[in-house]
Amino acid sequence: MILDIRAEVRLPTYELRDDIPFYTKTLKMRMDMIYPADDPTVAVFSGHGLRLRIEKGAVEAPGMIRVLTDDPDGFADGARTLVAPNGTKVEIDELNPPLVLPKVQHSFVVRRLADQAPWVIGRAGMHYRDLVPDRLGGAMIASHIRIPDGGPVPDMVHFHKVGFQLIFCVNGWVDVLYEDQGGMRRLHEGDCFIQPPEIRHMVCEASDDLQVIEIGVPADHVTEVDHEMTLPTPHDRPNREWGGQRFVHNLAENAEWKDFRLSGFVCRDTTIAANTMAVAGVQVIRRGAGEPQWARHDADIHFTFVMKGTMVLQGEGRDPFALETGDAFVIPPGMKTLYAEPSVDIELLEVTLPGAFKTKETNQ
């Protein structure tokens, strides 16, 4: 037996006949019910995904309604705020507001795992540790995410309204479905995904002690659930773009290592810069031949996570920081730094915005 169930929000009114034209003409809702016929005291209106019961003598406060539309200036003759005769306030706003990227507030940040930054429970039961507490003024968020106990993940098809988003696996594996990218994708240690803006996806299953680094720009961005789409989608469209960016599944296995722009290190490129029109770049860095040198860069955002090994981060005018696995740092543009005393097994994840920038080695 299928039950017919409806839900409605009740709002008070002083005189119902004054509210009817406001809700039907101004807010463009339809009236579904009214009674009693001789002296109406209750009316029900529906529209825009909302069902309202306007009732004379109801004890509730008048409330607030937000109407989201592609044409907010044309919805109510340009008005963005209204007040109904029954006192209910109405805000009219953009359904899909443009993404605003805050100006970066540059700072030198060091976040050490030993400092015991708190893990908090976030979306789908995942544990989050904030790697850049000041978030550079809201310009970016860097999260160390873990799932201690493996198995199916209670996720739904969703998408993020972002300018850039990276998922890099530092331990374990995770299975994810993506819109128009074929079947299940497994991310192993050292692999990464670029999730273009608004690509639909769903985390399906994870290993024990899954750990990933997630970078998002800007820091505060919206996650929306898509109740209509089913994954996997029937088409495989590897060249599709979302906001000028392509989906990337970069594999660590058989990667080519080259000299890094900093002496004493080698790197492998994850192809992120090429697939995001240089919005961002992602490199994995290891110890190479030669001695590390002092250097400056001019990238707007320069974030690094220590995946393995140890090093000493030296910066002009700063005390040295001894870093180890799980630590992270941000170097502002123009600041002279040195990656000193890197261990043989050092492995760093570097994320920069933009993907193309200049670095100059210099004497201390």
pLDDT tens for residues 93-112?
999 888 888 999 999 999 99
What pLDDT was estimated at residue 124? 64
Q: For residue 56, how many C-alpha atoms fall within 13 Å in the half-sphere facing its CB? A: 15
The span from the CA of 276 to the CA of 272, in Å, is 6
For 64-152, where are the E strands, in sequence order?
64-69, 81-83, 89-94, 109-111, 120-121, 127-130, 141-147, 151-152
Using DSSP, state whether 362 is helix, strand or coil: coil
* Spatial CB neighbours of 286, under 8 Å, sequence gap ≥ 6: 257, 265, 266, 267, 346, 347, 348
What pLDDT was estimated at residue 165? 95
**282: β partners:** 351
What pLDDT was estimated at residue 218? 94
- Amino acid identity at 362: T
- Amino acid identity at 67: V
pTM: 0.87
The CATH classification of domain 258-361, taken from the options 2.60.120.10, 3.40.50.2020, 3.30.540.10, 1.10.3720.10: 2.60.120.10
CB 142 within 8 A of CB 303: yes
Superfamily of the domain at 9-94: 2,3-Dihydroxybiphenyl 1,2-Dioxygenase, domain 1 (3.10.180.10)
The span from the CA of 145 to the CA of 132, in Å, is 13
Cα dist from 204 to 150, 154, 177, 237, 247, whole Å? 11, 8, 7, 21, 18
Q: Which of the residues in the chain have pLDDT under 50?
A: none
What pLDDT was estimated at residue 364? 62
Portions of the chain given CATH number 3.10.180.10 = 9-94
Portions of the chain given CATH number 2.60.120.10 = 109-250, 258-361
Superfamily of the domain at 109-250: Jelly Rolls (2.60.120.10)
What pLDDT was estimated at residue 120? 83
